């Protein structure tokens, strides 16, 4: 069975974005990019909500071709181009993109079916609304939380629609020099 693994930057008080979706508080640097890159290369499938996928699709296909492309841009663009992409979207059901499947209805059933297929894990990048739907159906198996040293006070919470108490086990943690702490949890 394939695992569904959620990747998020989160504030210390549990928000993934400000009220208007702002993410200018997130700290990233080469150390984090290298850590995430090593982890992402272990997978071949990404899941997104429509909004996050459109941001990714607008950037990653040509990111490596830019004159000022960073090491991270080059490496992640190569991964993105070959990765299978699954997009949860009610409005894009008839769209056609390379290596991309759109799920517009019966999310619980369709994602459970995907998890039953052979293959490597499925990574969820950002996509708070999609993650809220997946949490509602208890479909997320692991969390990689990049806790940023900031309190937002208000914003879009990561954990919404959790239907019941879910014990987690800390698998690993890593502190980065910029103050971000990555915590990897799986269901207990």
Instruction: Please give the C-alpha separations between residue 65 and each of 28, 37, 62, 81, in angstroms, as whole numbers.
Output: 21, 18, 5, 13
> Distance between CA 128 and CA 118 in Å, rounded?
26
Q: How far is CA 113 from the centre of its chain?
A: 19
- Which of the listed CATH numbers 3.30.2350.10, 1.10.357.10, 3.30.420.480, 3.40.430.10 matches domain 4-11+28-117+129-158+171-179? 3.40.430.10
Cα dihedral value 40, 42, 47, 52, nearest 10:
10
According to the model, what pLDDT value does residue 57 have? 92
Using the predicted structure, report yes or no on whether residue 163 has a pLDDT greater than 80.
Answer: no
Kind plus residue range of the DSSP H or E element containing 61: helix 50-63
pTM assigned to the model = 0.90
Task: Note the pLDDT of residue 96.
Answer: 84
Spatial neighbors of 68 by CB under 8 A, at least 6 apart, are none
Mean pLDDT of 26-31: 94
Indicate if the pLDDT at residue 51 is higher than 80.
Answer: yes
Residue of 4, 32, 41, 26 whose CA lies nearest to 131? 4
Distance, in Å, from the CA atom of 31 to the CA atom of 37, rounded to the nearest integer, reads 10
Annotated domain spans of the chain: 4-11+28-117+129-158+171-179
Q: Closest by alpha carbon to 84, among 59, 47, 133? A: 47
């Amino acid at each position: 069975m394939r695992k569904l693994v959620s990747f998020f930057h989160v504030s210390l008080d549990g928000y993934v974005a400000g009220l208007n979706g702002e993410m200018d508080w997130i700290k990233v640097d080469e150390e984090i990019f290298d850590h995430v890159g090593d982890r992402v290369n272990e997978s071949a499938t990404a899941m997104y909500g429509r909004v996050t996928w459109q941001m990714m699709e607008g950037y990653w296909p040509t990111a490596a071709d830019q004159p000022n492309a960073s090491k991270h841009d080059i490496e992640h663009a190569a991964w993105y181009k070959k990765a299978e992409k699954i997009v949860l979207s009610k409005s894009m059901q008839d769209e056609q993109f390379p290596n991309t499947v759109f799920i517009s209805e019966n999310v619980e059933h369709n994602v459970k079916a995907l998890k039953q297929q052979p293959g490597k894990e499925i990574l969820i990048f950002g996509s708070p609304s999609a993650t809220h739907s997946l949490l509602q159906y208890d479909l997320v198996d692991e969390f990689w939380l990049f806790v940023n040293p900031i309190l937002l006070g208000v914003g879009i919470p990561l954990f919404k629609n959790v239907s019941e108490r879910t014990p987690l086990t800390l698998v690993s943690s890593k502190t980065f020099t910029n103050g971000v702490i990555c915590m990897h949890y799986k269901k207990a």
